[in-house]
Amino acid sequence: MLTQIKGLHHVTSMAASASTNNRFFTDTLGLRRVKKTVNFDAPDVYHLYYGDEVGTPGSVMTYFPFPHIAQGRPGTGEVGTTIFSVPQGSLGYWTDRLTKAGADGLKADEAFGEKRLHFAGPDGDGFALVEVKDDNRAPWTGNGVSAEEAIRGFHSASMRLRDEGSTAELLKFMGYEQVDAKDGVTRFGMPGGNGADFIDVETMPNINSARLGAGSVHHIAFAVDNREKQLEVRKALMDTGYQVTPVIDRDYFWAIYFRTPGGVLFEIATNEPGFDRDEDTAHLGEALKLPTQHEHLRKALEEHLEPIA
């Protein structure tokens, strides 16, 4: 069993409009845009990062906004719901805020003893807020949401699978423990994690596979401290039979990727070097930052990319 993984690092999804996406995560959810860069593999497309003040691993939601992307189709083999942690007693505030913002799909429920509020993002993305007692992670409060209500980071992610068996074994190998199961959902938790500690697996054997598009999660990333720990994880996964990519430099972390038995794309990302490697903390996410290999495209990209505030 692996011991290097410390919970979630980030979740990356697809969107249709950069400006709409940016407005929703900063104005509506009150997160901070901590990086404005481009998709390293398709530099004519933004890669936008939102999180807490410094983009702490476990708080970061990221997006590829493709202007002409087709709508995704929900189904199995994907992350269906990304869940954020908020303080106990704050869901009334969030219900009012999301209602005023015109968010779709508002629904309150309870799972595993926790109160939740479900809602949809601008592209139909599946989200929820869950009340968590004593989540001591520091929130970002620069976009008009007070510390008494502000998002602390991720709580969990919920995967929809046709069969949970092989993925459950993988999660246990990665250091997760099964902590509960109810109503067709199995919850796995990371002991001593970074606060973004849970993965829920919903088994849906009769549902068709998802189709990637706007509103879909592209991949989910798990955190390790550094490159040394990442290489240990890579070797262990490959020794177990997984096809894992070489280490890829993403400027703000190093990444490896592999496809899970259930179809979800997993990434293992380092906590180093962080989003302040090329911007000071006071100005994170303000300027367009380009990887070295695309810097020669700056003039063309600045003319092409949709302006965002």
pLDDT tens figures, 47-85: 999 999 999 999 999 999 999 999 999 999 999 999 999
Please give the pLDDT value at position 40: 96
Report the 10 Å Cβ neighbour count for 222. Answer: 27
Q: Is the pLDDT of residue 114 over 90?
A: yes
Residues of the chain above pLDDT 70, percent: 100
Pairs from 244-253 (Cβ < 8 Å, separation ≥ 24): 250/40, 251/37, 251/277, 251/278, 251/289, 251/291, 252/35, 252/49, 252/55, 252/277, 253/9, 253/57
Q: Which residue has the tokens 């959902």?
A: 185
pLDDT digit string, tens, across residues 219-254 = 999 999 999 999 999 999 999 999 999 999 999 999
* Mean per-residue pLDDT, 79-102: 98
Which band of pLDDT confidence, cut at 50, 70 and 90, is reported for residue 267?
very high
Which band of pLDDT confidence, cut at 50, 70 and 90, is reported for residue 169?
very high
Calculate the average pLDDT of the chain.
Answer: 97
